[in-house]
Amino acid sequence: MKDEGRNPTGSFEDRGMELAVAAAKHYGVQQLSIAAEGEAAASLSAYANAVAIGARVFLPQDVPMPSHLQCVAFGAEVTVVLGSIRDCERKLEQEAKNGFNLSELKEPFRLEGAKTIAYELVEQMGWSYPDGVICPAGIGAVAIWKAFEEMEQLGWVAGRRPRLYVSGSDTGSFESGVLEASGGRVVEGTDALATLLDWARHEGILLSPEGAAGVQTYQALLASGEVAVTDRVVLINGSRGLNYAEVIARALRLRPKLPSSLPVGGIITPQ
């Protein structure tokens, strides 16, 4: 497993955002903006704050609280939009025209930064390829494939490239082309939260829901015979489980606990 939850703000998004913000600083950009569902916005907020660039983030109303909290704590100007991510994008276009837009696929640097996951992976495996890589939809399949090609051109790695598998159904045309070229495919899971809780209780690892879906993908590939237990398969856990604290709390049927009685220390009355 390659655990992206160990990154500074707890997700894969830190890889691309670090490079994008560094490029913005290099080119003298003073204001950055993003419409995102949570983790990318938290990452932008952190890195922009570190180099004294203003950050304005547009979040949908159902943004996970840990991501919202990070955006505020890191000093970003936060706008919560009533609606979907598309509504956030429209709001950004209306209200943040002076900022450089770092939303997904609006510039090249986030993709370039995301490639580092593949460079690290190959280095950590002794400059050799694994047999397969399982990543959540949207977590860098295109960047990984691009990095493999570049490393081969540099002579850093040789051999058959890994098959790429994406857990989930939400893939774009670029990802679909990469999967086909690698000999992999999309694998849809069932109840990822059940797998998440199983790993927490038996492995001591709190996966993200996407990471748990990746575990299900691996199990499905074993069952179908597409991979063998002897194959070296890398599972990418895209973020830490605590980024989805509310989702996991609902799965555990946790409710906020309040004391049965709240002591009153005194009453202040107007003089």
Q: What are the pLDDT digits (tens) for 98-146?
A: 889 998 888 899 999 999 999 999 999 999 999 999 998 766 888 999 9
* Percent of the chain predicted with pLDDT > 90: 71
| Cα dihedral 184→12→216→200 (10° resolution) | 160
Instruction: Please report, for the chain, the start and end positions of each structural domain, with discontinuous segments joined by +.
Output: 8-110, 115-251
How far is 76 from 83, CA to CA, in rounded Å? Answer: 20
Q: What is the CATH number of domain 8-110?
A: 3.40.50.1100
CB 212 within 8 A of CB 192: yes
Least confident of 193-202, 235-244, 245-254: 245-254
The 8-class DSSP code of residue 83 comes to S
Q: Which two tokens stand for residue 51?
A: 């180099």
| Partners of 258 in beta bridges | none
> Residues near 220 by Cβ (< 8 Å), separated by ≥ 6?
187, 189
- For the cut 60, the answer to whether the pLDDT of residue 270 exceeds it is no
pLDDT category of residue 253 using cuts at 50, 70 and 90: confident
The 8-class DSSP code of residue 172 comes to -
Q: Which residue has the tokens 């748990």?
A: 212
- For the cut 60, the answer to whether the pLDDT of residue 19 exceeds it is yes
The reply to whether 8-110 and 115-251 are identical in fold is: yes
Of the two residues 190 and 73, the one the predictor is more confident about is: 73
Convert the pLDDT of each residue in 31-68 to its tens digit.
999 999 999 999 999 999 999 999 999 999 999 999 99
Mean of the pLDDT values across residues 90-97?
89
Q: Which CATH number fits domain 115-251: 3.40.190.10, 1.10.10.10, 3.40.50.1100, 3.40.50.300?
A: 3.40.50.1100
